[in-house]
Structure 1
């Protein structure tokens, strides 16, 4: 029978409260000792049985020394010492479980965000079907904010986010005939596509499959504390035996074991691991287990599956080029004023950078092209060069670039604003 670590910790805390109340408030130390001895013996016995099973599997943990210390202190009536060791032992195990469960829940959230349904386009209607029912050459509709369910070919125009697949936060403009992968997020208006693969053969589902396989077959690492468990435990037993032999007092045996109990490794190490995993999670890094985090200390090099530089997933204004009649700040504020009502990722970056935003009227946004608005009586356009002007030319200001917001006023070029990903490493 295996007791959960959370249950063990709760039992120890309840026993500690009851025993403390009985002894220090009602003056009943005998009853307090009996409660701690019985409850502590049961918990220690269950943990000892689990430890024996661990030993049979060829592993050896540092917890054995702590369990022995609990049994020894109970045997010599040092019940409060036994309770303290039990509290640290079960507390450390519970923290390790908490860290593992937190990582598993974050991974499960990732899996739950995968597309479960698709919108099948029939001759007369659009039907919602399960993703596993999608067949090759099915015509599908992907609505704004939805994730592309399967790999295929787009039959319209769209701006999508492929960061879940590539790590690149720059939006990608897709045109009719372009391939599109499952897991891609549709940022703008609805578009149609033709399924090129079934769900089980699509890119995102294969990623999910690998994550689930890693969950079911985790790598087996040895905790840092357990690496030194055998020599440390043997030395502790020898010293405890010598103390008992020389003093002729069994209490000395229990005292040595309590002192030798690796409380910093049992309790402090899980706290450090939980803190490290939580900090990693807040920065978008999911660590599957504490042992995985420990292994990073021996890493000599890291390989990133990333095209280009490592970024933090946010866009920023890298440079602004303006014609002589306008300052960089003026054209940036005009662009942000026009873009302030747009939900496009490029628009958000412009608005966050601008120092002053003016009211915009008659705002019209064209999907995957740009936006126009009336600001202070002038018509302002921001977007692709083909949207800014009917003439297919590039303004002479600034270098050519793929991620840009070109600005015009009354069809006269004002500026070219370059947006790029904010880099952490290069």
Structure 2
């Protein structure tokens, strides 16, 4: 494993922030910082829960109709910036000009059909009313949130756009480059184009809040948001597993949306961990048996007793420190308990299916994405995962997909992995 400071941090679960905020071993300013991070966390998780609930609602219902297609639209000003930027290569500028001209024509036709005009005093299109852009190129753009924690002010000031040379802001460069690694993984391994398979554009904001120790995908504005970290945690933009994890939440929206609560919510988090860890292993060129399977390795600052934020290999062993508490993730379904905290334990219980994926990957050998990853990917694209999917339902589909893809022996490997973490069907006498 490389010891570079890249690819080492991950999104911080709420139970860890709670532990930091509640521990008398921490100074007051540290506890206050954790409480502030929890406030932001509750806000964006609430958005995520509502979005997945709307995605899972019956087609034509009020909830389903509330979903906007804002994430498929690149702001005109961003495309204009790319088209005019002298630092961008000719091909990228040409693509931006083409897409800008196209979307303006589409908007004009839509307005004409609806009797709308864009001049002063007349109605303009809302994000929900704008038709989706048809682009053959994925654009990345990174903005500076300027330490503002108000999500209404996102994305901020542009720092770097697709095709532009490196910025003077290292965080912007890391966010830009690592988003590219995530997109390359999905395209190269699964032939999936960007987040939605239609070249959705990837927008990120760095320097969110003051000493904000987390990173997240904001489903309302459809973009990545990164804090700079503080006393315990930092370097989120340099962590490709963070970016892979969070962008996978958006991919899940476009494959099998899973309600963000209880077991289905834990599976939602699990899927993000699975693809985040595979992306990191690909970057590090690690086979399943050689990887450490740590999420957020080296993320904990010196002096903290622990190795990471989560361990997919051994849930519950990532850390044990009076300032953090002990890693609470159970490794077996026998320890699953219904809870109201953390949307029904979505971060807490993701460790159970995480270990099943680890066991299957190691049993297959080679790279994790060659067999286990492909099985999980086909599972998410099968159309057989219900919104309120349980662990056993998810396990059954992975077994079926393993058999379809690789035969009976592969199905037995996957079934054993789930059995080893206690996810088995109850017997009835």
Which TM bucket (shorter chain)? Answer: under 0.3
Give 1 or 2 for the bigger CA radius of gyration.
Answer: 1
Query: If the length of structure 1 is used for normalisation, what is the TM-score?
Result: 0.18
Higher relative contact order (CA 8 A, sep 6+): 2
Give the structure with the larger strand fraction: 1
